[in-house]
A and B are shown apart, each in its own frame.
Chain A
Amino acid sequence: MKESENRIYFYPIWIRIWHSLNAIGIMILIYTGLNMYYSNRGFRLMDFQLAINLHNITGIMVGLSYLIFTIGNLRTTNHKHYKVKRTGMFEKIKIQSQYYMIGMFKNQHPPYPLSEKRKFNPLQKLIYSIIMYIFMPGLIITGIGLLLPELIIENVYQLSGIFLTAILHASLGFLVTMFLIIHLYVASIGKHPLANFKSILNGYHNTNAH
């Protein structure tokens, strides 16, 4: 569904709804999660009880939005964009990384220009796949465990099951936070720093922007 030569309808409404829910939810989860992990009696940004309740509710919301993502991916062709081709994968990632680090400053053209068929460049494909297919399910599963601790195995050898689950949950949460920082920054690399942010809101992507 082409709007003009350079403008294509990139993000259908269900993706934008899922993405918005996910974005708001994950930011709340990071903020409340930090408040819980770095809880301090002398200094607090947020009431601990409120942080717990908000984290629980938002966690469920993000879990449901992941369900939207899964159903959407199964029912549409969106899942194809996450498919990482193993042959030459590292080479492609190297080329894309070199573009971000050197090429774009030398006015080179993006090595993998985005189109209706290729929504993500090889680096995005790999990172998004790790986030969506490994980290997010990991966070949701460990999150359910911490929400309903009776489900967790009590002891794994000498270690507490809750301890292991909590450490895994916090570590994955940290990695997703790091992804979010990079994701937000990379999104600013476009024709205009806000161009990609506009795209994810109105659905249209300018192919010259990336």
Chain B
Amino acid sequence: MRISYLLFLFALTLNCLTLQAEEKNEIPDVNGCLKCHSHQTITFTNTLTKHEDKRLMNPLYILDKDHFAKGVHAKFKCIDCHSSEYDHYPHKAELKLEPLNSCLDCHGGDAKYASYKFEKIDEEFQKSIHFKKIGESFTCSKCHNQHYYQAKSRNSSIVSDIVLFSNEMCMSCHSNNNKFQLLSDKLKPALAQIHEWLPNQELHFKNVRCIECHTQVVDSLAVSHNILPKEKALKNCEECHSKNSMLEASLYKYKNLQSRNQKGKLNTIISNKSYVIGAYQNIWLQRASFIILALILVGIGAHVTARILKKLI
């Protein structure tokens, strides 16, 4: 009897520990929103028929929990941003019209995130073609999905990850007609055709961010937010493919790429699995080649002199 009592206590403790461990990995769901909003189906009591109903969730309102857990707002409760009235089901129709916060509503003047320079970002964004053409309705969330956004360019040390994450933001509208037409009457641009002039297009798209050519680089910002009109986009190869490559000031400028990899710039670029023609000019290879060339020229010079002397004598 006593043993079974002890075993019961042990099992209870173990159960509590396991639950605690599970809770640690869980994203906060105080109001139980995710019971429905992270599943494909919803089961509820139909107030008219008084029956249990099981229906498909609107896919637009399903949250990817894993993706959310990696995002910058993973610690947030749903009602930190959404109305607390959402705790009743069916939700009130007018709740959908509630204005949502933009980045500056929370982060404006926020000393904790001063290094992100949200005000400067806003200032730059207001110069961009997105703001000039669309105005206030082009909110931060059009590119930066609040549920899933990760500060990749700031925190990742893998260039290909930074590029992929950044380009997916652009592509979410520029290669999706439905989303593109939320803000434009036109069809999405034919990106492959427009960029036909670009040699090794696929390689460029995979290794360089769209914003490298389509923004005005500002030294004080980690990521430039002044998206330029298409006719002002860079089309000059040497901007990147040169000794003083522009990429040093944009894609490779982040301290994290340097400091996390203590091997210096050259190795950072190598370990980040990228090679840019023209931008990679190894000083040791250059010195070695100049020495070899000089030796050959000196040798030829001496030989020529000897030949001339022989003729003269």
Contacts and interface: CB of A to CB of B under 8 A. Distances in A.
Q: Is B one of A's binding partners?
A: yes
Interface in A167-202: 167, 170-171, 174, 178, 181-182, 185, 189
Interface string A26-53: 0000000000111111101000110010
Contacts of A178: 292-293, 296
B277 interface: yes
A171 to B, nearest CB: 7
Contacts of B310: 105
Contacts of A185: 300, 303
A41 B244 CA distance: 7
A159 B239 CA distance: 25
A47 B292 CA distance: 28
B278 A155 contact: no
Nearest to A154: B273
Contact of A158 (B199, B271, B278): B271
B110 interface: no
A37 B281 contact: yes
A160 B274 contact: yes
A182 B303 CA distance: 11
Nearest to B286: A38
Which secondary structure dominates chain A's binding surface?
helix
Contacts of A136: none
B275 A41 contact: no
Interface string B276-313: 01111100010001001100110010010011001000
Given A149-B200, A160-B274, A185-B303, A40 B296 contact: no
A36 B277 contact: yes
A49 B23 CA distance: 57
- The interface residues of chain B, by DSSP majority, are classed as helix
B203 interface: yes
Contacts of B243: 38-41
B281 A162 contact: no
A105 B306 contact: yes
- Interface core residue of B236, B242, B270, B280 (most chain A CB under 10 Å): B242
A174 B289 contact: yes
Contact of B273 (A40, A42, A100, A160): A160
A14 interface: no
A166 B237 CA distance: 18
Interface in B220-254: 236-239, 241-244
A178 B294 CA distance: 10
B22 interface: no
A170 to B, nearest CB: 8
A112 B97 CA distance: 94
Contacts of B297: 181
Interface string B180-218: 000000000000000000011011000000000000000
Contacts of A133: none
B273 A39 contact: no
A163 interface: yes
Contact of A44 (B238, B281, B306): B238
A159 B270 contact: yes
A150 interface: yes
Given A171-B285, A178-B296, A36 B278 contact: yes
Contacts of A181: 293, 296-297, 300
Nearest to B245: A41
Nearest to B279: A39
B310 to A, nearest CB: 5
A31 B284 CA distance: 21
A170 B274 CA distance: 16
Contacts of A105: 306-307, 310
A130 B55 CA distance: 74
Given A52-B237, A154-B273, 19 more contacts: A39-B241, A41-B239, A41-B242, A49-B237, A149-B200, A149-B203, A158-B271, A159-B270, A160-B273, A160-B275, A163-B270, A163-B273, A163-B274, A163-B280, A166-B275, A174-B289, A178-B293, A181-B296, A185-B303
17 contacts: A38-B278, A39-B243, A40-B243, A41-B238, A48-B236, A105-B307, A150-B202, A159-B270, A160-B273, A162-B274, A163-B270, A166-B280, A170-B285, A174-B292, A178-B293, A178-B296, A181-B296
